[in-house]
Amino acid sequence: MKVTEPNTSTVMPETSPPSLKLWQHNHILDLDNFTKDEIELVFETSNAMKEVLKREIKKVPTLRGKTLATLFCEPSTRTRASFELAAKNLSADVINLDAIKSSVIKGESLIDTLRTLQAMGADIIVIRHSQSGAPYLAARHLNVSIINAGDGWHAHPTQALLDLYTIHHHLGQLNGLKVVIIGDIMHSRVAHSNIWGMSIMGAEVILCAPASLLPYGLNDFITNCHLPPITVEPKLDIALKGADAIMPLRLQKERQQTNLLPSLREYIQLYQLNQERLSLAKSHALVLHPGPVNEGIEIAPEVAYGAQSVIEEQVTNGLAIRMALLYLIVGGKR
Ligand code: CP
């Protein structure tokens, strides 16, 4: 039987490599310093990575000889697994450090732990930390590229990029779309990065939440950010009218120091995305969720698994997005 050799030799797929001249980032800390052109470059590079992922052998030598280290000081399923797989698909070596099993537990500082990874030859460090700003501190003290995999309430830029990419893939653009983000916006680093990303791409962002779950200083931010419209609409039925994409958020009980809601039952009554409410949005409206999902709380199961849900696709796209970002960071250094 004749066996066709799978194509593992090319760094990028058959499509020509996107221009790296646009790329300005040594680190990925948040999307507030990204341009529309850079986000489009990430999309274009992710399209090429998706082509790699369709191959029989999903591996290219782009990062051969490079080392990616991950340090997760908070739990993760999607982000951690997809960074590891993305690096392996690009032929990098991978070190995964679990904070709970590392010398952090013996009192070693974050920077010393990261310096240890740097001393072992890590080229890129992916970090998730409960303290907002931890990846910024790392970027200031180390000579390697830092990728923020979620810092406290602050930012989760790679999640936002995969969310933007998923919407763009289905609806062809982000400019002019109406995107509704529902729920625990105060504690959601995903929402914060998405607000930047969607606004930079020209989408209208509507935040729908009880006042107790909106970030402090939001009105000042909206007034001063000079981005396309960001509005707050506390009534879900009004917010959903004419929506192109809807993202309910998990209630982050682990980050709520005080009782911010009178009762969970009332929250579900007022803010759960169910089928009846979804019908208020445009018929093509996409349902996204960054995960993990609290089924039956922020989203009804029939919506989470329904025809308009792209939640699983977000996870799949996350792999292509992270491969693209690793490629761009390493390529951008050449
Ligand atoms: N969306 C997200 O960050 O998921 P994980 O916590 O599973 O990584």
What would the pLDDT profile of 261-300 be if each residue is shown by its tens digit? Answer: 778 889 999 999 999 999 999 999 999 999 999 999 999 9
- Residue 256: the pLDDT is 60
Is the beta carbon of 229 within 6 A of some atom in ligand 1? no
330 Cα–ligand 1 center, Å: 24
Length of the chain: 334
Please state, in angstroms and rounded to a whole number, the distance separating the CA atoms of residues 58 and 238.
Answer: 45
CA torsion 74→165→92→127, rounded to 10°? -20
Single-letter code of the amino acid located at 309: S
Q: Which atom of ligand 1 is nearest to the CA of 150?
A: 3
DSSP state of 95: E
- Residue 21: the pLDDT is 80
Architecture of domain 18-156+316-333: 3-Layer(aba) Sandwich (3.40)
135 Cα–ligand 1 center, Å: 17
DSSP state of 211: G
Is the beta carbon of 76 within 6 A of some atom in ligand 1? yes
Model confidence band, residue 311 (pLDDT cutoffs 50, 70, 90) = very high
Is the beta carbon of 79 within 6 A of some atom in ligand 1? yes
Task: Supply the mean pLDDT for the chain.
Answer: 91
- Residue 10: the pLDDT is 53
324 Cα–ligand 1 center, Å: 18
Is the beta carbon of 17 within 6 A of some atom in ligand 1? no
Model confidence band, residue 333 (pLDDT cutoffs 50, 70, 90) = low
Fold of 157-313: Rossmann fold (3.40.50)
By alpha-carbon position, which residue is closest to atom 6 of ligand 1? 76
18-156+316-333 and 157-313: identical CATH topology: yes
Tokens of 289: 């969720």
Give the range among 6-15, 32-41, 73-82 with minimum mean pLDDT: 6-15
Domain ranges of the chain: 18-156+316-333, 157-313
User: How many CB atoms lie under 10 A from the CB of residue 289?
Assistant: 24
pLDDT reading at 6 higher than 50 = no
Segments in 188-272 forming alpha helices (H): 189-200, 218-224, 236-240, 264-271
Tokens of 90: 């690009």
- Residue 3: the pLDDT is 41
pLDDT mean over 236-248: 98
By alpha-carbon position, which residue is closest to atom 3 of ligand 1? 79
Please report, for residues 171, 320, 330, 331, the alpha-carbon distance to residue 47 in angstroms, rounded to integers and kept in the order given. 15, 7, 18, 17
Judge contact between 191 and 228, C-beta under 8 A. no
